[in-house]
Amino acid sequence: MTEQIKAFILRNHLKPGDPLPTESVLCESLGASRSSVREAIKTLSALDIVEVRHGHGMYVGRLSLVALVESLAFRVQLSSRDDFTVLGEVIGVRQLLEQGLAASLVAALEEPHFDALAALVSEMRELADKGETFVEQDRAFHLLLMEPLKIDLVQQLTGAFWDVHSMVAPLLAPSTADGRETADAHAEIVAAARRRDVAAFQAAIEAHYGPVRKQLATHLRDSGNAVDGRPEGR
């Protein structure tokens, strides 16, 4: 039934936020029982394909990556009991995404972006010097870094992978020194982008993941494979 409702959305060219028919209309339209439609709506609601607004009706959902974040985060948490391998893979995908888009980002970033990114770095450094984490600033930095591309899927993926990372990384117990090193690496990302230096930008992205990779190394078994998700050839 979930596939039938998705097909209904596609067939009627509905977009996120558009209203859906009532349960009774869907039942009649799809030739299904109310209970099967109701169960399908619950499933699609969990996937953010359908949004149920109590007292207002049903709508096409935002089609966000909420379900991906939740499943990946749980998978990482399960893995963290043993070797943190999945967290390493998430970090590797993040790095691949940011380094792969380096040339486009360096070309697209403008002075207002640099100023905003630098302000976030200043906040990170202040918090790092106090021995505090800077989760909100870190997430804002990476979303802002990708913003000039104006590609919604890239923004969603960046936010999704960062959310998974931030949900699990505290289990690694980063030190104050790690926090300072991470903040400094963010500063170098901004500096390289200002210089329009793609190679330096890519190197700064890799350095940015250095502290968490060092933390992972204390948990990962030395199998001789790229279990930390590091992109080959970097």
Same topology between domain 2-60 and domain 66-217: no
| Cα 204 versus chain centre, distance | 19
Q: What pLDDT is stored for residue 230 in this prediction?
A: 56
Q: Are the C-beta atoms of 182 and 211 separated by less than 8 Å?
A: yes
Res. 232 pLDDT band, cuts 50 70 90: very low
Q: Are the C-beta atoms of 128 and 180 separated by less than 8 Å?
A: yes
* Model confidence pLDDT, tens digit, residues 175-229: 778 889 999 999 999 999 999 999 999 999 999 888 888 877 776 654 444 444 5
Question: Domain map of the chain by residue range?
Answer: 2-60, 66-217
Q: Using CA atoms in the order 37, 42, 46, 50, what is the torsion angle rounded to 10 degrees?
A: 50
* Model confidence pLDDT, tens digit, residues 77-88: 665 555 567 777
36: amino acid identity, one letter: S
Fold designation for 2-60:
Arc Repressor Mutant, subunit A (1.10.10)
60 contact partners, CB below 8 Å, separation of at least 6: 9, 14, 15, 16, 17, 18, 20, 49, 50, 51
Q: What pLDDT is stored for residue 224 in this prediction?
A: 46
Element (H, E) at 232: none
* Model confidence pLDDT, tens digit, residues 12-55: 888 888 999 888 898 888 888 889 888 988 888 877 788 888 88
Q: What pLDDT is stored for residue 226 in this prediction?
A: 47
Q: What pLDDT is stored for residue 228 in this prediction?
A: 47
* Model confidence pLDDT, tens digit, residues 133-163: 888 899 999 999 999 999 888 888 888 888 7
- Rounded-to-integer distance, Cα 229 and Cα 96, Å: 10
5: amino acid identity, one letter: I
- Rounded-to-integer distance, Cα 17 and Cα 225, Å: 45
Q: What is the mean pLDDT of the chain?
A: 83
Q: What pLDDT is stored for residue 188 in this prediction?
A: 96
- The residue among 71 and 229 whose pLDDT is bigger is 71
Q: Is the pTM of this model over 0.75?
A: no
Fold designation for 66-217:
Four Helix Bundle (Hemerythrin (Met), subunit A) (1.20.120)
- What angle is formed at CA 131 by the lines to CA 175 and CA 143, rounded to 5 degrees? 85
